[in-house]
Amino acid sequence: MTEKQLSDLILPEHIGIIMDGNGRWAKQRGLERSEGHKAGANVFRNICNYGADIGLKYMTFYAFSTENWKRPPKEVASLMKLFRDYLDEAEQRVKENEKRGLKFHLVGEKKGLPGDIVRKLDALERRSADKDVMTVNLAINYGGRDELVHAFKALARRVKAGDLNPDDISEKDISDNIFTSGQPDPDLIIRPSGEYRLSNFMIWQAAYSEFWYSDILWPDFTSDDLDKAIIDYCKRSRRFGGV
């Protein structure tokens, strides 16, 4: 996107992306599914960097859902290896990420993830905590319903302790206890690969999100496709239930 095009647009503040189609991309090419995930990881890096370069403030990437544990053990193991490789690479590219001002944040449950991955994620979050150009939410071991259960349990503990009256619980209380607490809800959610569903992604936050779907498989997704989604978003009228 050119500077002139950018100057004419009011960019979405927060974009969520469901990175779908890696397995089908690999199958079309006679490759192992793990090769599709590798190709998708490269696209994630490119789109993440491009988002920061054009001025997006938040991007959430759906990398591994709570339901993905049901996949074949070999595929799950390959995904965990990809996460390790990315986190190791992020450590090696600290200066580049700092220059871009990327702040990394885990969106999901640490419980259940391999201990070494949790430690690497913690280190990445700590190192980037003071960056303020763009927040990169890594949705790993994430599920929208699980996120709500997490929030409801936190509120229930406050009620039990006598710190909160159940009749006083508000939408803000729930928003303050989900994994994206303190962040704006996604303005735009992008799903490539020809699927038309949320798949348990940000179901609380997506109440008034705009959606953009495409038949493009994630490993083929480019910055031009992100531009198309943003331009389409900017043509829409968001009324939030009003007139």
Domain count, the chain: 1
User: 11, 230 in Cβ contact below 8 A?
Assistant: yes
Residue-level pLDDT at 2: 66
- C-alpha span between 132 and 123 (Å, rounded): 17
20 catalytically annotated: yes
More confident position, 242 or 24 = 24
Residue 68 annotated as catalytic? yes
Q: Is residue 204 part of a domain?
A: yes
Whether 145 shows a pLDDT value over 70: the answer reads yes
Average pLDDT, the chain: 94
Owning domain of residue 194: 3-143+185-234
Alpha-carbon torsion (144, 146, 150, 153), positive or negative: positive
In a domain, 206, yes or no: yes
d(CA 35, CA 81): 12
- Which of 20, 22, 97, 225 does the annotation list as catalytic? 20
Would the pLDDT of 189 be above 70? Answer: yes
161 belongs to a structural domain? no
91 or 143, higher pLDDT:
143
CATH code of the domain covering residue 116? 3.40.1180.10
Residue 3 has pLDDT above 80, yes or no: no
Q: Is residue 229 part of a domain?
A: yes
Catalytic residue from among 46, 49, 53, 68: 68
Whether 176 maps to a domain, the answer reads no
Give a yes or no: residue 224 inside a domain. Answer: yes
Among 55, 36, 217, 79, residue whose Cα is nearest residue 133: 55
Flag whether pLDDT at 241 surpasses 70: no
pTM equals 0.94
Q: If you average pLDDT over residues 7-27, what whole number do you get?
A: 93
Asked whether residue 21 carries a pLDDT value surpassing 60, the answer given is: yes
